[in-house]
Structures are given as structure tokens and as C-alpha cells.
Structure 1
Amino acid sequence: MLQVVFTQLNHKMFQKSEKIDFIEAVQKSAELEKVCREEKKELAGHFYLIEKDSDGSPIYTGTFQFGSYKAPNLYQHIKQNLEQMKINKQHEQDKLILLSKMEDCLPDIFKLAEKNEHVHLIGLDQSRISKLKKWQRRAIYSIAGIVSLTLVGTATFMSLVISNGKHDVQKQTNLVKEQTKIINQYEHALLGDNASILNYFDKHKKDLTKEQIQLYAKLLLDQKKYKDVVDLYKNDVGFVETLISTKGSIDQLREYNASFPTDEGKFDLLFADKKYANLLKLTKVEMTVKRSEMKTYAYLKTGNIQGAKNELLNNSNEELKQKITKFEDLTKQLKDIDNAISISKESKKNDDVKKLTDRKNELQKQLMSI
């Protein structure tokens, strides 16, 4: 478990040098960030992360500038910094492990990336926004923000070219009109009119940014237009499978895999169906951290403790590590009980056999529940 220690922060909500659990630190940081924004002030909070029950050596240090609007909570602050770091391959796994540990102990509400909607869409009636999926709102706000900044930059550039008369003013005017049109498309999408933005993306496929392609693909997936998504990603069926798998929709994954079968899709579906032995027979699967965790668990459920330990080295999932330890301990206890039952049967101690058998059944239930 992760813990946080703030070494410099002048606020009653945090005690200096106090060790607090990561989830509590994130929750408090979100509250303090909100307070600082409302009071229009900034506070610098120096902190470091440690592993609970470790020697106290920091695994991450940083400074969270409360009230700066740069991040809504401590987790988002750390995540943003880690993603921006330029590190070598040797430390890339350490980064992924830390991100995984933070995400595993947090409720989803703290994992949502914040976008300041009022800056880019100030004229939009917020009360009319439909109940879009969270990823849709975040993606639309994000891209709308980028386009808005582009629009502002274009407008500023226009004022310069008009003053010196060295550029084609009409061309820039048309560009501003096009950017404004894009903003309108995002506003319609926020109000539930996905058809409008889908139509726009379809007409401008060749000119879409990476962010726009991602949003376009997700909107198409919502409508189960799998062929269109595959075409969008130039027939990379494996990538599209991973995209669907990331969304966590098993039913949609089954539909997609029926039309575009891949080893990765088969792997994910076998795990969902708890067919762990069949999963382990697949050898040509592109492994991700998530699939490595799935494979570790599959080894465990099939009783291959050593295989689970070996695969754990590729993902370092703390929860799986604890499951392996528990599985190993229960397996040893069951073996000892079987020996004790045999001895009791030979001695014709029926009462002992019954007690031991009851205990064995209880341990087997625990083993199955892992």
C-alpha cells in the first residue's frame, strides 16, 4: 500500500511529516484544491510517496501547487508528471508499476482527467448537456479546447496580417470560419447530437488529428460500426480489439471478435469466460500489462504457482502477489490436512477424521474464492 508524506504545506488539512494512506491523501488534496480555487489562492505542497511497511525510502517526490488548476487532485498531478517524463526503458516498467499501484487503490471518481469546460465552451447551456458517457465528455471537451486555442491563435494572427497587408486575409477568414464550425460540432455532440459530429469526421477523415481519430473511433464503436473503425486504423484489427477490451465491454468484444478474430480477442474472451487452461495454451498474443496480470491469475487458478510467480515478474501487481502467497499457504495446509486424515483413518479416529474433513472443505472454499 502506498502512503504520502507532506513535508512542507501550511494548511490544517495536512499534518507536516504525517504518513497517510494514498487514497486519503488524494481525497484531501481534491478538497484542498477546491478550497484554493474558490478562495483564488495557491499553496505549494512538497511531498513524497513511500511503500507502507518499507524502510521509508521515497519512490516519488514532487510539489503539488494547490489552486493552480493544473490538476484536480494529487493522483492526477503525479500521473501527469510521470507521463511527461522522458525516461529510459529500464525505468519505464517502474513508472507503469507505480501508475498501476495508484490506480488500483482509488475509486474511479479520482481517476477522471479534468478539463475546464467553462473556458472553451462558455456559451454552452450546461443544463442541456445530455448524459453522455464520461469518456465522451472528456474527449469532446479536450478536443474542443485544442480547437478553441487554435481559433484564438488564428484570430490573433489575422489581426497581424491585416495590419501589415502581407498575407491573404480572405484565406485566414475562411480558416476562422472553419474552426468556428468545428466548435459548433463539438457543442452539438455535448448536447447529444452525435450524428452531427460523426458526419463531420466522416467528411474530413484525411485531416483529423490523433485526438479526433480517437474520439471518432469511440463514437463508431458505440454504434457497433466495427468495419469503419478497422478502416480508420488501416486494418489494424489487433489494435481495435485492444481498444474495445480497454473499454471493458465483453459483449461488444464478442461481437467484434466474431467478425475480426484475433488471438488477443480470443485471449481476453477466454479470461472473461474463466477458461484459464485454454488461455494458457495461446502463445502468439501481444502482451500488455493487463494481459500479463490475466495470465498470472490464470496460472494461479490452474494450480501452477511457479508459473504465476514467473509471470508476476512482468507486471508486479501487489494484489496478485498477495493472492499467490495465500494460494501457496492454503495449498500447503491442505496437503498437511490430507496427511493428517490418512493417519487418523489408520488409527480409526473417526471424530478426528470428521473434524479434519470439515476443515479441509473450509480451506478448499477459500482456495476456490481466490
Structure 2
Amino acid sequence: MFYVMFLKSETKEVPTFQKISFQEACEKTHELEHQYRQQGKRASIDFHVLNEENQELYAGTYQVGSHFAINLLDHIKKQLSQMKINPKQEAIKQSFLKKLYHEVPYSLHPEAMKFPERDESILTPGTFSKEGYTSKLSHFHRKMIYGGSVLSVLLLSIGCWTTVSASQQQSDEVVQLQQKLKEEEKLTKLYETALLGDTENAIEHLSKEKGNKGSQVNQDVYMSLLLEEKKYKEVVKVGGEKKVEDRLLEKGDVQSLKTFQESFPSSTGTFDVAYLEQRWEDVLSQKDVRMTEKRQRMKGYALLRTGKVEEAKKQVNHLQDERIHQKIKQYEQVQQEIKDLQKRIEEEQQKDPKDEAKIQSLTEEKQKKEKALNGI
């Protein structure tokens, strides 16, 4: 199953920094695309596609109301179709797209090319559609910041109860499953306590639960709570240094990364800090960095910002990340425009008499382009 996390957004109509199902993300963008087209509005939304292990599979920016795509699935399909990749990468791309298609009903496939009508087909929270039920998130779930783990616990609880109902004749299994359900309900209350702000109390209880044999304590939630309280030694014992490094990078908190580095120094952590502080040469000078797809993208961007365009291309060529590919294209374009302007300035300076006003105008335009290049 795939998930989506919307990040930076120009509209408040999508839930940011919450992990939702890919289908729910497609339904929301499908509805917004229809609405924004009618109203003549546009909005930009950054997003990540994740798998069940929270690994980033794709990153991009969706332009709602731009008429480019009818929903998130259509957007990803069109962006991937524009990528120049080798046969092996093409096979990976097609496999990824096939899995995305399986995540949503046919009505949301680009081939359907039909927007929902306002009176009956728009998928709204808590209503039935022809394709199934779209759950309405409670206030508790909307506040969820720990990667969807609480919802996973609730779903597991429901699954346990369904199994219990279907196994009434097997008394031993019924007793075991009912006990498991009680444990899950208790943990759900603990997670809710944490989300309401009492993290210290939740950590204390979760720590005790983790010591119990057969406990179903969710590691991701436990780690997130420990990180919130900056209990780095404890969280390393739970998830290990590598996972904590990755979590801190995702948060993008430079000071937390620096503090963690004091107790658990590594070239990977140094790489992450240098990137967040935009020290591009220091990023590229690091050796033995544990490279994830995210860090490959980071290195590609550092190469770009130091003018190594071709190296940047090679670094990110295999990544399914439309934003870094677009940045490289944009960088090349602006870089070429600067070169053209410089050539024109030199040609004007060689003329006799010189047109000082034109030279000044070209120089100012070049300075604007150089500023834009630094901002890519």
C-alpha cells in the first residue's frame, strides 16, 4: 500500500504533514482540480509518495488548477513519461505506475477522464461512493503527526475484532484475540495521550509496555515521542543510529542534528548538517556517507549549486523526483541566458561609439538572472 504526505502547500484544503492513503490523496486532488478549474484558481503543493516502511518512492510538486493533470495519479504518470531513462529504469517506472493504478478505483484513472459531478460523485469524507467508503478522519486523526501509526493500531484493532467474530467456535483463539484487542485499545489511548501533549507520561507508559512480552508497541510512534523530547540516547536504543539520523533529516532541524552529532558523530550526520546550512562544498567533501535516495538528491542539488551541472544530472538520473530534474533544467536555462547576456554586453562594449544605456540595461538584466540562478 502506498501513502502520500503533502508538505509545503499554497492551499489549506489539503492535510499537510499527515500520512494519508494514495487513494485519499487522489480523491482530494481530483476534487480540488475540478473546483480550482471552475474558479480559475491555482495552487502549488509539494508531496512525497511513501511505502509502508515510510521509504520515499517519489517526490514532486502538484499544480492544482493548472489543467496539467486531473489528479495526483495523472500528474505522476505525465511527469514520469517526460523523463529520459534507460530500459532498466523504464521497467522500474512501469512497475511503479502499475502499483499506483492498483491503489485507486477506475474512476480516478487518467483514462477515465471524467470529473465527479457536484450532486452525487464528489467523494466527501464520511460518504459512500460506487468504489467504496471514504473514511471521515476524527479530530484526533487529523492531529496525527507520527506517520499514521495510531490509525494503523486502530485498523489492527478492528481487524482483530472481525477475526474474533468469525471464530466464535474456537474458544481459545477467541480469548487470545480478545486479549490482543484490549492491548491495542490500551495502546491507542496512550498514543492519544501523546498527541494531546502529555508526551512524558506517554513515553513512560510505552517504555513499560515495550518491556512486556508480546507487547505491540509501535516503534515509529515511540521513536517520534523520544525525538520530541530530544532523548537521543534512548531513541538510539530503540531504532539505532541510522534510523534516528534519517528521522532528524526528515524533520530538517539543524540544531537537533548538531546536538545528535555531539553524542553520535558520523560523516552522514555532517553531510546532513552541511546541506541544511547550504554549505555546498562541505556537502561534496564528505566521504563514506550513507546514501539514501533523499541524500542522493541532496548531493545532486549541491553539485548543481556549485555549477557542476553534468555531474548533477548523473547523480539524480535514476531518481523518480520531478523537482530535482526541473531544477536542473531551470538552472541550465538561466545559466545559458546569463552567458548570452554576457556575450551581448561584450559586443556592445566593443562598439564605437558605445551605447552606455544599453550596456547598463543588459548588465542589470544579467544581475537579475544571476540572482535567480542563486535562488534555484
TM over 0.5, shorter chain = yes
Does the alignment pair 1:244 with 2:248?
yes
Please tell me whether the aligned partners of residues 263 and 285 of structure 1 are also in contact (alpha carbons under 8 angstroms).
Answer: yes
In our comparison, the structure showing a higher alpha carbon Rg is 1
Alignment of 1:135-174 (within 5 A): 135-136=145-146, 138-150=148-160, 153=163, 157=167, 159-162=168-171, 172=175
Query: What is the one-letter code of the residue matched to 1:184?
Result: K
Does the alignment pair 1:335 with 2:339?
yes
* CA distance in structure 2 between the aligned counterparts of 1:342 and 1:76, rounded to whole angstroms: 48
- Residues 290, 94 of structure 1: CA spacing in aligned structure 2 closer, same or farther, 3 A cutoff? farther
For normalisation by structure 1, the TM-score amounts to 0.59
Q: Percent identity?
A: 22
Please tell me whether the aligned partners of residues 157 and 185 of structure 2 are also in contact (alpha carbons under 8 angstroms).
Answer: yes
SS of 1:136's equivalent? coil
1:320 corresponds to which residue?
324
Deviations 1:89-120 (A, max 9, x none): 984466669999xxxxxxxxx9xxx99588xx
* CA distance in structure 2 between the aligned counterparts of 1:195 and 1:240, rounded to whole angstroms: 19
The partner residue of 2:210 within 198, 205, 209 is 205
Show structure 1 runs of 5+ residues with no match: 1-22, 33-72, 80-87, 101-109, 119-125
Does the alignment pair 1:266 with 2:250?
no
Query: What is the one-letter code of the residue matched to 1:230?
Result: V
Deviations 1:67-88 (A, max 9, x none): xxxxxx9759999xxxxxxxx9
SS of 1:261's equivalent? coil
The partner residue of 1:280 within 280, 284, 288 is 284
Which moved further from structure 2: 244-253 or 220-229?
244-253
Alignment of 1:7-46 (within 5 A): 26-28=28-30
Deviations 1:230-250 (A, max 9, x none): 1112xx312211122223433
Please tell me whether the aligned partners of residues 209 and 217 of structure 2 are also in contact (alpha carbons under 8 angstroms).
Answer: no
1:186 corresponds to which residue?
188
* CA distance in structure 1 between the aligned counterparts of 2:252 and 2:318, rounded to whole angstroms: 22
Deviations 1:195-232 (A, max 9, x none): 55433432243646787112211121112111111111
Query: What is the one-letter code of the residue matched to 1:217?
Result: M
Please tell me whether the aligned partners of residues 341 and 353 of structure 1 are also in contact (alpha carbons under 8 angstroms).
Answer: yes
Which one scores higher on RCO, CA 8 angstroms, separation ≥ 6?
Answer: 2
- Residues 322, 132 of structure 1: CA spacing in aligned structure 2 closer, same or farther, 3 A cutoff? closer
SS of 1:135's equivalent? coil
More helix by share: 1
* CA distance in structure 2 between the aligned counterparts of 1:75 and 1:208, rounded to whole angstroms: 40
Query: What is the one-letter code of the residue matched to 1:240?
Result: V
Show structure 2 runs of 5+ residues with no match: 1-24, 35-69, 77-87, 101-122, 124-132
1:134 corresponds to which residue?
144
1:62 corresponds to which residue?
none
Q: How many residues are matched?
A: 269
For normalisation by structure 2, the TM-score amounts to 0.58
